[in-house]
Amino acid sequence: MKLCTTEHHGDPWRPYRSLIMREKLDLKSNVLIGSLLFGLFFGAGNLIFPVQMGQLAGSNTPLATIGFLITGVGLPLLGVTATAISQSESLYDIAKPVSRIYSIFFTCALYLTIGPLFAIPRTATVAFEVGLNPFINEKYLQVGLFIFSLIFFVITLYYSLKPGRIIDWVGRYLTPIFLVLLSILLIATFVKPMGQVSDFPPQGKYIDRPLFTGILDGYNTMDALASLAFAIVIITNLEKLGIRSSKYKAIEIFKSGLVCLIGMSVIYASLAYMGATSLGSVSSADNGGKIMSLVSNHYFGYVGKILLAAIVTVACLKPAIGLITSC
């Protein structure tokens, strides 16, 4: 290790590191980075896609879940690690070896897709549709969506304008809050199952190709694409924690990624199980958000609606902060 003599006046990272360049992080820091990774990746689609997959896959849920984990967890973590190894400082630098024109096009297309044209607006609309829609009279839905979106993005903007604190906002606070809230619902599904996975036959493509269909479902979370943008955020946080070498950045991302991998895999498998067993007590639905609403109401009644609203809002707020910060 060697001392870094650069002054950092007003450094928001001072509570987390000394002015020492390090080759590795301690376990606490790895868990914190892993929590940040989880928080950035796990958003609206990640919450509702596996639930719907489980309801459609039925008895083939285990195979579909394996496929989902390959692309929904494996590819994003490989994308972040590969970016660290490439020593690139931006998405433009990653794509530049192909050609300058391609690099500009790819960078703009990806950031617009995971940003203002699709993913960022989806964070607010999904949070409202799944969480608050049941509490609002139908004739006031448009006004309600406008007011909710305004408040949601004001909060998101506040945190996004302080990127140096993103490891606090997302990794230290929002992710644990989200996990505690979601665990209440997931534990209920295991303690008092609504049915048995083997009791329900698979539907559609899950009959003959559950693994391949699960792979496509995992890719549809868009995390494989988002990993290229989030990687820059993660790498910047590692540098502020004292990791400078590209080699050690990749190693620490991989170690922290294991924390994220375990957490996301357990949550995804549990959500798929929830969806697969839900038909034993609730009706089928055309999206995972409605299924979760029916399940939460089944277990907790009106309180379940409030719980789901909190789960979905926090789930959507985390990636919204990460996406806006990245853009």
Highest mean pLDDT among 9-23, 54-68, 282-296: 54-68
Residue type, 102: Y
Confidence band, pLDDT 50/70/90 cuts, at residue 153:
very high
Answer whether residue 174 shows pLDDT above 80. yes
Residue 1 pLDDT grade (very low, low, confident, very high; cuts 50, 70, 90): very low
Q: Side-chain half-sphere of 311: how many Cα atoms within 13 Å? A: 23
Average pLDDT over residues 18-22: 55
Whether the per-residue pLDDT at 121 is higher than 70: the answer is yes
In angstroms, rounded to a whole number, what is the distance separating the alpha carbons of residues 218 and 53?
10
Are 298 and 213 in contact by the 8 Å Cβ rule? The answer is no
Residue partners of 248: CB distance under 8 A and separation at least 6: 22, 23, 24
Label residue 211 by pLDDT band (50, 70, 90).
very high
How confident is the model over 42-48, as a mean pLDDT? Answer: 82
Q: Comparing C-alpha atoms, which of 57, 13, 15, 18 is closest to residue 277?
A: 57
Residue 50 half-sphere exposure, CB side, CA atoms within 13 Å?
29
Asked whether the predicted pLDDT for residue 13 surpasses 80, the reply is no
Give the pLDDT score at 17: 46
d(CA 20, CA 101): 40
* Amino acid found at 89: E
Q: In a 10 Å sphere around its CB, with 0-12 CB exposed, 13-18 middle and 19+ buried, how is residue 7 labelled? A: exposed
pTM: 0.84
Strands (E), the chain: 2-3, 20-21
Closest to 294 (Cα-Cα) out of 268, 274, 273, 269 = 274
pLDDT at 201: 94
